[in-house]
């Protein structure tokens, strides 16, 4: 009986180890060394970068934003099974209606750029959150600048 119980415990332990390390969701997109797993949302967010910023009342892409989007496009080409939602965000200034429209233009600008880099349109969706989901809660110009963004979210 004791040997049977020991064998059962050993089997359960090995099964648990095998399951946990193979499942990206269980590890949050990180391998056992804490490195972002290739192809994971963690890799995209931390290594590639998922956010580009915009100027005040602008939806055009800066040179810096284009450089970041080139990296995103290269990553998306490497992982063709991955689809994304491009979120458009604004700072708190302006009306809700105006910022929803501006957020949509920002998301569309990012989507158009990625399509121009060879990413299929059917892999890309857009959504505007206007000023509804700020990442910076303050009212300084630096806070406003952080909130004027496009975020590429993996699905």
pLDDT in tens, 17-57: 444 433 444 456 767 777 889 999 999 999 999 999 999 99
**Please, which contacts does 57-61 make with residues 24 or more away whose CB atoms are closer than 8 Å?**
57/94, 57/102, 58/148, 59/102, 59/105, 59/106, 59/108, 59/109, 60/109, 61/109, 61/110, 61/113
pTM of the shown model: 0.80
Distance CA 46, CA 68 (A): 12
Half-sphere exposure of 143 (CA within 13 A, CB side): 10
Are 76 and 84 in contact, with CB atoms under 8 Å apart?
yes
Q: For the chain, give the percent of residues with pLDDT over 90.
A: 77
Q: What are phi and psi of 27, to 5 degrees?
A: -105, 5
State pLDDT tens for residues 78-134.
999 999 999 999 999 999 999 999 999 999 999 999 999 999 999 999 999 999 999
Token readout for 121 is: 């349109």
């Amino acid at each position: 009986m004791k040997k049977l119980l020991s064998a059962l415990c050993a089997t359960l332990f090995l099964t648990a180890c095998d399951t946990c390390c193979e499942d990206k969701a269980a590890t949050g997109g990180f391998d056992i060394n804490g490195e972002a797993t290739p192809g994971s949302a963690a890799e995209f967010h931390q290594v590639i970068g998922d956010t580009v910023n915009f100027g005040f009342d602008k939806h055009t892409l800066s040179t810096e934003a284009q450089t970041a989007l080139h990296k995103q496009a290269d990553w998306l080409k490497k992982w063709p099974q991955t689809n994304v939602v491009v979120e458009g965000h604004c700072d708190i200034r302006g009306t809700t209606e105006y910022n929803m429209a501006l957020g949509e233009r920002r998301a569309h600008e990012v989507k158009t750029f990625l399509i121009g880099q060879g990413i299929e349109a059917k892999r890309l969706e857009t959504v505007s959150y206007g000023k509804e989901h700020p990442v910076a809660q303050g009212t300084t110009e630096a806070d406003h600048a952080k909130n004027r963004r496009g975020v590429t979210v993996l699905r």
